Structure 1
Amino acid sequence: MKKMIMGVLLVCLTAMIAFAAAGPDKVDLSKWVDGKPSKKAVEFPHAFHQEKNECTECHMNADGGPLKSIKTGKEISFDGAIKPRKMSNDAHKEFCWECHQEKKVPGGKSCSKCH
């Protein structure tokens, strides 16, 4: 009986750790915009991307946390970095488009793909 209880607890603990490591389903990227966006701010489908990629392809470490430039591999932050009414910005050039191009995402640089 004790072994069964320990087994159930171990399974529950493992599931909790796996769920916690998964990160959020979606990430609101409106905090990246400095001012009122000219297009709808992207609600990044994190869970969708997580199914197809390793955490370290976008983040500095496997636990998530700081993002890294897809171009340079260096830590990068886009908070407040996007200026409204610009056709492209650092988030596009250093992160989104680089990955979409590398992964050969159809229409990966099209505005309507994410916005």
Structure 2
Amino acid sequence: MTKPNMFVLVTGVCVALLFVAGSVGAATKVQDVIRMEHKAYSEHTKGIVDFSHKKHNEEYKIGCGECHHDADGKPLNDLKMGDDVKGCIECHKIPSRMPGALKKEMREKKVPKKEIAAKEMEYHAEAIHENCIACHKDYKKKDKETLAPTSCSKCHPKTKK
């Protein structure tokens, strides 16, 4: 191989490695605080939650699978910080909460609770609230002194009207 061809080959490999390194670095960046803001919340009446991803993961030692799950609700325990994950809205597609009238109608029709709960999880706000509040309540049961909030105002800031 001639020197100019070797130079072109080495340069090409170096450029390719830089692109790979750059994309790997970009894929692993996770925001310390995630603003839980999405167009699905357009009817939301409370303030938008600023979720401290770093604090939950590093300080509280909560693994990725505690929040991120597969289509069957099973924890994705093999995730690592920075892995590509779907946003909640990608699976829990209906914005807002399940209408009370629908829930009441299902109860009146004697729909099993398990089916009602499954229907609720189609609604984005129901899924997020179930995930967060259930976890916070579990921590409260284990440790009465924990600061894990279980009321709306402790997570949702007051909005200015």
TM bin (shorter chain): 0.5 to 0.7
Segments of 5+ residues of structure 1 without an aligned counterpart are: 1-12, 69-75
Check if 1:66 corresponds to 2:86: yes
Distance 1:43 1:79, change over 3 A: farther
Asked if 2 retains the 8 angstrom alpha-carbon contact of 1:33 and 1:82, the reply is yes
Distance 1:90 1:57, change over 3 A: closer
Distance 1:102 1:22, change over 3 A: farther
Q: Which amino acid aligns with 2:154?
A: K
In 1: Cα distance, 2:86 partner to 2:147 partner: 27
Which of structures 1 and 2 has the bigger CA Rg?
2
Q: Which amino acid aligns with 1:89?
A: E
In 2: Cα distance, 1:91 partner to 1:107 partner: 16
Q: Report the Cα offset of residue 66 of structure 1.
A: 3.4
Asked if 2 retains the 8 angstrom alpha-carbon contact of 1:34 and 1:80, the reply is no
Partner residue of 1:31 out of 9, 31, 38: 38
Q: Percent identity?
A: 27
Return the TM-score normalized by structure 2. 0.42
Structure 1 match to 2:96: 82
Runs of 4+ in 1 over 6 A off after TM superposition: none
Asked if 1 retains the 8 angstrom alpha-carbon contact of 2:57 and 2:63, the reply is yes
Return the TM-score normalized by structure 1. 0.56
Q: 2:38 is paired with a residue of what secondary structure?
A: helix
Segments of 5+ residues of structure 2 without an aligned counterpart are: 1-20, 70-75, 101-124, 141-145, 157-161
Q: In angstroms, what is the RMSD of aligned CA positions?
A: 3.3
The structure with more helix, counted as a fraction of residues: 2
Q: 1:66 is paired with a residue of what secondary structure?
A: coil
Q: 1:81 is paired with a residue of what secondary structure?
A: coil
In 2: Cα distance, 1:106 partner to 1:59 partner: 22
